[in-house]
Structure 1
Amino acid sequence: MKTPFRLDDHPRRTSPLAPPPDGYFDRLPRRVMERVQPAPAAEMAPAGWLLTLSRPMRTALASAVLLGGFVTSFFLSQPAVSPQQPVATTTAAMVLATVPRTEMVQYLLASDQRVTLPDLAELPGTADQTVTDSFLQASSAEVQDILDEQPTDDLYL
């Protein structure tokens, strides 16, 4: 069994540590700063000038380089247009008009997704009105008669 340790059983020293040398605490801050500060670089690194800029200036420079890269990539991705050829403007309606009707019907019937009213509500307001002339041939009197035949609910009155 171990005997318990008691501090009172051990003798104490009268002088625990030797005194520091003369002027030690006066020279200590200078010696610490000499060790902490980096030695001056003989040559500046290739991007050393960047480190001399302040943080906000480096952030502004990085933002400008990034924005310039986006603008450059945008302009380089545009198709080349020669002055002799006019720019062909194709709209979605023009591209859709080139698809044969039978192919479009087959696609809609084979698709698992159905066209809903919100899908139709997203159509642009400048749609070609000549498309509807082939299947909407009702006069206003006929439309009014059909609406009058619809049952009305008394719940909403």
Structure 2
Amino acid sequence: MRFVSKLTMALVGALALFGVGFATVTPADAASGTIHFSIVKGGFFVGAEGGNGVLEFRGRRYPLSIGGISGGLVFGASQTNFSGRVTNIRRASDVAGTYGAAGAGAAVGAGVRVITLRNEKGAILRLQGQQVGLMANLDLSGLVISMRR
């Protein structure tokens, strides 16, 4: 009996050493969903953005709040309607978190944006969207997505 418990402990220790855990997200465990949101961005050197959207995951819809700040060269105002896929998540709450990006762009009238972002939980957003407004930017920005009730 004692041998079995020591063997079990050694096996669990070896699995932990090699990064095989019970709470890790493996490609077989990970799932994906679709995400849609609208952001309004404006600023003069320091920019702010905010909006809302929805995550569709495993047959359910989850409302989202979007917020963020950017610093660098930011001038103008725009609205972007994004849609895309979120991958590498196990539960809907995995999409919540902070996403960072460095970017440069300009929009006068209408334009198209494509971006890939990753948060601290490993969720990956692959987005494309239609941007409308007058905006010039060369900045670092952070986007925060949170679940709404």
Structure 2 length normalisation: TM-score? Answer: 0.24
Larger Rg: 1
Structure 1 length normalisation: TM-score? Answer: 0.23
Structure (1/2) with the larger helix percentage: 1
Structure with larger RCO (C-alpha < 8 A, sep 6+): 2
